[in-house]
Amino acid sequence: MALPIRWMAWESVFQGKYTTKSDIWSFAVLLWEILNLGRWQPFDNLTNQQVVENLSHMHVDDDQFVLLPRPGPPCTKDIYDLMGECWRRHEKDRPTFREFHLFLQRKNLGYAPIT
């Protein structure tokens, strides 16, 4: 059975572990696709085996994992930073869906972080 590895968290691929924290990883990949207007699939420059190899860097925690690149406009730095939080190695360091939702609500209401 083929797996959608381009959207999967490393722990789902290597440990068969599926949680809401692995779902938030996948959701951030979906958001990346949306912000790219569906023009590319995640890691379109890599083969499936290379995607697995990239995820393996998270598995062994060697700081070699390569994130998806920041989409162009309308993806602001704070949205990309939030996606990066969703792709953190440790599940406890990833946001919850509630936190993600609150962030998007604030963005919708015109909130802008102080830079």
* pTM (two decimals): 0.91
What residue segments make up the domains of the chain, in order of their start? 8-108
Distance CA 27, CA 44 (A): 17
Which CATH code fits 8-108? Answer: 1.10.510.10
Q: For 17-76, how does the pLDDT look when each residue is reduced to its tens digit (9 = 90+)?
A: 999 999 999 999 999 999 999 999 999 999 999 999 999 999 999 999 999 999 998 899
DSSP secondary structure string, 75-103? --HHHHHHHHHHT-SSGGGSPPHHHHHHH
Distance CA 82, CA 93 (A): 11
